[in-house]
Amino acid sequence: MILVMVRNTIFLLLGIMLGIRLTDFIGYLKLWRNNDVRTSEKAALLKYPVASEEHLATWLRREVRILCLVLTMPSSHRTKAALVNRTWGARCNKLIFMSSQTDPHLNILQINTSESRTNLYAKVRTGMAYAHEHHLNEYDWFLKADDDTYIAMENLRLFLYPYDPESSVYFGCRFKAYFSQGYMSGGGGYVLSRDALRRLNLFALNSSTTCKLNGEPEDLQIGHCLQDVGVVAGDTRDFQGHHRFLPVSPFTVFPTIQSDSWLDSYFFHKPNRSDCCSASAISFHYVKDVEFEFFEFFLYYLRVFGLHRTPRALPSRLGFRQMNELLQHWSHQVTDNKG
């Protein structure tokens, strides 16, 4: 009798413990999947803290899978490409360099072409075709960058998390152009959704009329191709109007973006001049070799005593209707930068 009572008590305690753990787990998931969808960064952060930023960043690496395609050349393999490989590139889910020669120290897609600015578009086309053929279903987003671009991959994943990779959209630093929605600067990096990559390869790159090799800059041509096949240029500014993708070094635009700079005249959206950059900045371009090490130290090693990083939640993922409404909004945007 006593043994039966002990056994029943043990089973009861185990059931209670299991129920508590299961309730905690379900509650934890509900916090991440909160259905109160908001579209701005400021409003989208949920009021319930769920984990530290470090834990969320680790989780996001599995949840938001990014393949990185980086333009380089043989003369930069041991310098710029090597720096990308051991800094931000190591935080991609997969990193592929596009170059005309292989290298035992780098994961290179060899592209048989001469190294010149006029051939950058051909290299990117080949890289995008390779990603589509071999990795379309393995990754959610496909980033193109240069070997002097620096990407804060954690910020990129946080920005992309609410958006459906099966929607027809791409993101970057949006420039004005002779076609309506403009294009994303190649130097600051641009990222295509899975569906954008699919459309680019199935409908654009296979068409001699839609996607011509006309000698224009790589980013301009890719942007024109994407618009022609219905891929929307998304808005990457934060809730204060600051740009997250910047096609220059932060040292160039610090403390504010000057109105007489070449960059100012290219922006699709007029910049906020209160300061240079978004607090959730994602990319910079024209980064010098020593600046790669600078970014790594100040972003990933330096810890200021007294600055406590509070737990936070992820922004909500957009549902089908909300995503379509946002795509419609972005597709009807017109430039407000008349300079």
61-76 pLDDT tens trace: 999 999 999 999 999 9
Q: How far apart are CA 231 and CA 204, in angstroms?
A: 11
Domains of the chain listed by start with CATH number: 52-302+313-331 (3.90.550)
16-31 mean pLDDT: 37
Q: How far apart are CA 251 and CA 244, in angstroms?
A: 15
pLDDT tens for residues 75-133? 999 999 999 999 999 999 999 999 999 999 999 999 988 888 878 998 999 999 999 99
pLDDT tens for residues 289-313? 999 999 999 999 888 887 766 667 8
Decide if 49 contacts 312 (C-beta within 8 A).
yes
> Given pLDDT bands bounded at 50, 70 and 90, which one contains residue 208?
confident
pTM: 0.82
**Nearest alpha carbon to residue 224 among 180, 263, 194:** 180
> In the structure encoding, which two tokens stand for residue 6, read together?
């002990």
Contacts of 255 (CB under 8 A, 6+ apart): 275, 276
H or E element at residue 325: helix 320-331
Q: How far apart are CA 36 and CA 318, in angstroms?
A: 9
The helix-helix angle for 120-135 and 218-228 (nearest 10°) equals 50
**Nearest alpha carbon to residue 151 among 204, 90, 194, 107:** 90
| Predicted confidence (pLDDT) at residue 247 exceeds the cutoff of 50 | yes
